[in-house]
Amino acid sequence: MKVAMLAPISWRVPPRHYGPWERVVSLLTEGLVEKGVDVTLFATADSITKAKLIGVCPRPYSEDLSLDVKVWECLHISEVFERADEFDLIHNHFDFLPLSYSKLVKTPVVTTIHGFSSERILPVYKKYNKHVYYVAISEADKSPELDYIATIHHGIDLKEFSLNESHGDYLLFFGRIHHEKGTAEAIEVARKTGLRLIIAGIIQDEKYFREKVLPFVDGKQIEYVGSVGPEKRNVLLGNAKALLHVINFEEPFGLSLIEAMACGTPVIATKRGSIPEIIIHGETGFIVENLQEAAEAIGSIERLDRKKIRDHVEKNFSVEKMVNRYIEVYKEVIGYARSFSEV
């Protein structure tokens, strides 16, 4: 089985710090290679992989603002489809743009939809609905206007996360600094409880950061530590009392949630999007309706068994489970393609 893995080029694969789509691509690619699948990864040229690497774009455009995004996206995507006949399958993680190439080649295309940035992109997905095989990352993120071959939750490499059975003394916000992710709401919860809050993540909205976050950052109760890479992530997640995920949008999945739980750290999250698919209320964290409930839930955190929280991730969100599910999808899609070619 020869698979072309089409990654985004906003960040490196794997990302140095932020880059959830690129992180999933890396985990899946390396897991497939370990299973003996012949994978060619199309990503930035500085990416690191055991697969064959084809890098047209020299560096991530989010790290080098001199790169013209549209130019390098065009060159990157076209490289995959111009070589389509070399592969049994193309796995697209690049959102909707590559779909417009899919009818120009005979090679079947699987597209993992990593969430909908806007309803305005849905017409593209609808146009290619009967031609491309869509994978959802959660049941909650499925569009009723599309057909899906599978729902596959993200998985993580559990060797990167160690269980800490001691309850920490600080709350943690871990993600992009943006209204959607509820950074300001996490600050409000921390102030309600009097507990220290560490904020880690890239600043995606500068105005929001200046107006809603920075005024409360005092280096004591509220601390901002910037974007945290893999070398510090395990310790920061594992030493937290709880991860706060009091969001303002329908969460497609939430990679940081399973990373925190892999360390035994419970999650307090707003009941939106995929949250009920990830957290078991009262066992691996608490699903809340508002900030007052979030603050009250912190009082019950220490009765949760951090070992059982880790066990939940091992059972449901391992990279092995994710890889095996994708292999099943690949075989199904390739089987369909071969049966149609024989008609």
Q: Could you read off the pLDDT tens digit of each residue along the chain, which spans 343 residues?
A: 999 999 999 999 999 988 899 999 999 999 999 999 999 999 999 999 999 999 999 999 999 999 999 999 999 999 999 999 999 999 999 999 999 999 999 999 999 999 998 889 999 999 999 999 999 999 999 999 999 999 999 999 999 999 999 999 999 999 999 999 999 999 999 999 999 999 999 999 999 999 999 999 999 999 999 999 888 999 999 999 999 999 999 999 999 999 999 999 999 999 999 999 999 999 999 999 999 999 999 999 999 999 999 999 999 999 999 999 999 999 999 987 666 554 3
Domains, the chain, in order of start with CATH, read: 2-155+318-341 (3.40.50.2000), 158-316 (3.40.50.2000)
Using CA of residue 162, residue 164, residue 169, residue 175, what is the dihedral sign?
Answer: positive
Q: How many CA atoms lie within 13 A of 11 on its CB side?
A: 17
Give the contacts of 226 (CB within 8 A, at least 6 positions apart).
Answer: 200, 201
Q: Kindly provide the b/e burial profile for residues 80-94, where b requires at least 16 CB atoms within 10 angstroms of the residue's own CB.
A: bbebbeebbbbbbbb
**Alpha carbon distance 308, 147 (integer Å):** 35
pLDDT for the residue 86: 98
Which of 259, 175, 285 lies closest to 224 in space, CA to CA? 175
- State the Cα–Cα distance between residues 239 and 264, nearest whole angstrom: 9
The pLDDT value recorded for residue 18 is 85
Q: Which of 343, 341, 335, 338 is nearest to 149 (CA)?
A: 335
- The whole-model pTM stands at 0.93
The residues near 189 (Cβ < 8 Å, ≥ 6 apart) are: 171, 197, 244, 246, 268, 291, 294, 295, 298
Cβ burial of 119 (10 Å; 0-12, 13-18, 19+) is exposed
Contact 108, 89 (CB under 8 A): yes
Work out the burial of residue 60: count CB atoms within 10 Å of its CB; fewer than 13 is exposed, 13-18 middle, 19 or more buried: buried
Tokens of 207: 């105005």
Determine the Cα–Cα distance for residues 237 and 161; give it in Å rounded to an integer: 9
pLDDT at 229: 82
Q: Which of 111, 107, 108, 104 is nearest to 126 (CA)?
A: 111
Give the whole-angstrom CA distance, residue 64 versus residue 105. Answer: 32
The per-residue pLDDT for 242 is: 98
Tokens of 162: 């160690």
pLDDT, residue 343, reads 38
